A and B are shown apart, each in its own frame.
Chain A
Amino acid sequence: MGELGRLHQLIIPVFGHNITINLEVMVMTWIVFALLIVLGLFASHKRNILPRPIQALGELIVSLLYDLTEDALGEELAQKYAPLICALFMFLLLSNWLGIIPHLEEPTKDLNTTLGLGVMGFLIAHYAGIKSKGFKAYIKEYFQPIFFMMPLNLIGELAKIVSISFRLFGNIMGGSIIILVVSYLTYNLALPPFLYGFFGLFVGTIQAFVFTMLTVVYISVQVK
């Protein structure tokens, strides 16, 4: 049980400061990248009008996510943001599923990954907002309904980052902690496979979808 709440870290001292690198998370993230690139290559290799199964799978995912983005953002902006949304969803889905394989860990179990993605979504949403409304109208929004609401509006915006990233992190890390404890208590008999199915596949899929949808929604709220 000593593994609970412990991380494998590489600490490099540079000029009196310690640079901490979560090695495991980085390796796992690169594994997800590699899987995604391989999947992409296979799906787009020898494209045909009669798709092979893997091409059909790729087309299915891409068209589903394009439709979702188009519903929320409109056709014009969807052209711009749909690739990002597809990439985000695929990355999160594979990251959340990675934990099912023994000896591999979900990169989304680390707050740094989810917080990074949350900050990315936040910056993109605000960039899109400034671009579509203009800087003045964007700043004006913070002083709605009365000017002294500004600090609270600001905190409300920042709280969005906290909620979106902690939601994913909490679900994935919570699942893995519950699996760890239950496996320890039942001596790895019987229960853990079901838990992997529930927390890894089911909750992982739903949370990847929720994170992606919320990023789209944040962009669409800023744009309109």
Chain B
Amino acid sequence: MELEVETVIKIAAYTGSGIAMGLGAVGAAIGEGYTAARANLAVSRNPKISGDIFKNMLVGQAVAESASIFALVIAILLLFMDFASPSLLKAAAFLGAGLCMGFGAIGSGVGSGYPGGESCFGISQQPQAGSQLTTNMLIGSAVCQTPAIFSMVVALMLIFIDFGNAPLTPTWAAFVGAGLSMGLAAIGSGYGGGLAAGASCEGIARTPQAVTSVTTIMLVGQAVSQTPSIFGLLVSFILMFKTFPESSMLATPMALLGAGLCMGFGGIGPGIGNGMAAEGAVRWVARNVEHSNELMRIMLVGQAVSQSTAIYAMVVSLVLIFVV
């Protein structure tokens, strides 16, 4: 059966849209459920302030929802936009955009449920620190969204940038690879950032006067646990904007696809691991504020070591792009 170019593009856009929203719905729902579960626990511990807890829960869930709202935006764009330049490359770009946004929303959605839940629980234990907890939760879960925002940016670039007449054969793989690299790498970082933010809310509820050092270490820890997703962003930028010479061999596109998969999967573990390191540091800083410097140093060294696997993945995918 022969397919027209426009039909292929339509197929790709619909598939991408389905993937984006289907996968994008996974993470945020889990995160919000966790927040609600912790809020129930909090209300049963301290029913007198159930109003405050309820409000805090709703705010936390609204922030956690934003990852899947990004996915919804991308899905709607893919469904309803009309595109002027019909070339087969656009089909690959749409598929890449859908994959990128779908996977990218998972981690941030799950992760930003943690600060919401922990801050609800913290309010029940330490009601007078309520406003500090809500502020910290907002900062923590907004920073958790960074990997999802990166994924959305890559998806929007794949959708809107006119790549002109780049050769079809290796470039389609580059676009799909770019989406996979960013989307998969965002999973671990989003989840890890959530772990750190959750621990910081718990810590502030325990020691409200330690709020400055806890928030600072949370931000540094989250920033470092986002590094794998930044490597994913770097690889997908290279895949999008490097011009590849036309080739009829199958090896070249597979190398580009492999580069995207390598960086994507390679970023999941380090993101979660770095988040765990940050979680530990933040949790213990709240209990032992005087030694926050030592704790931060141990956290950073530990994160640097667990990050090395992401660096191996990046080296291999750069070799796949530039050498093979």
Contact = CB atoms under 8 A, between A and B. Distances in A.
B149 A156 contact: no
A72 B314 CA distance: 30
A224 to B, nearest CB: 7
Contact of A209 (B157, B219, B230, B312): B219
A49 interface: no
A173 B149 CA distance: 10
A88 interface: no
B233 to A, nearest CB: 5
B297 to A, nearest CB: 7
Contacts, number: 95
B85 interface: no
A1 B84 CA distance: 12
A214 B231 contact: no
A23 interface: no
A213 B220 contact: yes
A179 to B, nearest CB: 11
Interface string B128-157: 000000000001001100100110110011
B149 A175 contact: yes
Given A71-B293, A206-B143, A224-B297, A163 B152 contact: no
B322 interface: no
B304 interface: yes
Interface string B192-220: 00000000000000000000010010011
Contact of A178 (B146, B152, B315): B152
B230 to A, nearest CB: 5
A181 B156 contact: yes
Given A5-B157, A167-B223, A178-B152, A155 B315 contact: yes
A217 B77 CA distance: 41
Contact of A156 (B77, B150, B307): B307
A5 B233 contact: no
Contacts of B79: none
B149 A178 contact: yes
A178 B314 CA distance: 27
A177 B157 CA distance: 9
A112 to B, nearest CB: 14
A203 interface: yes
A203 B311 contact: no
A14 to B, nearest CB: 25
A101 interface: no
Contacts of A170: 146, 150, 153, 230, 233
A202 B142 contact: yes
B324 interface: no
Given A177-B157, A178-B156, A159 B314 contact: yes
Contacts of B213: 71
Contacts of A171: 146, 149
B250 interface: no
Given A181-B156, A221-B300, A156 B223 contact: no
A217 B293 contact: no
A120 to B, nearest CB: 18
A173 B156 CA distance: 12
Interface string B304-320: 10011001101100000
B124 interface: no
A166 B156 contact: no
A5 B223 contact: no
Given A174-B150, A181-B156, A217-B300, A163 B220 contact: no
A2 B156 CA distance: 13
Given A170-B230, A206-B139, A221-B300, A177 B156 contact: yes
9 tightest Cβ-Cβ pairs between the two chains A and B: A174-B153, A163-B227, A166-B230, A210-B223, A163-B230, A174-B149, A5-B161, A4-B160, A159-B311
Given A156-B311, A166-B233, A175-B149, 20 more contacts: A1-B160, A4-B156, A5-B161, A71-B213, A155-B311, A155-B315, A156-B308, A159-B227, A162-B234, A167-B227, A170-B146, A170-B150, A170-B230, A171-B146, A182-B73, A202-B142, A206-B219, A209-B219, A214-B223, A217-B296
6 contacts: A4-B161, A167-B227, A170-B150, A174-B150, A174-B153, A178-B149
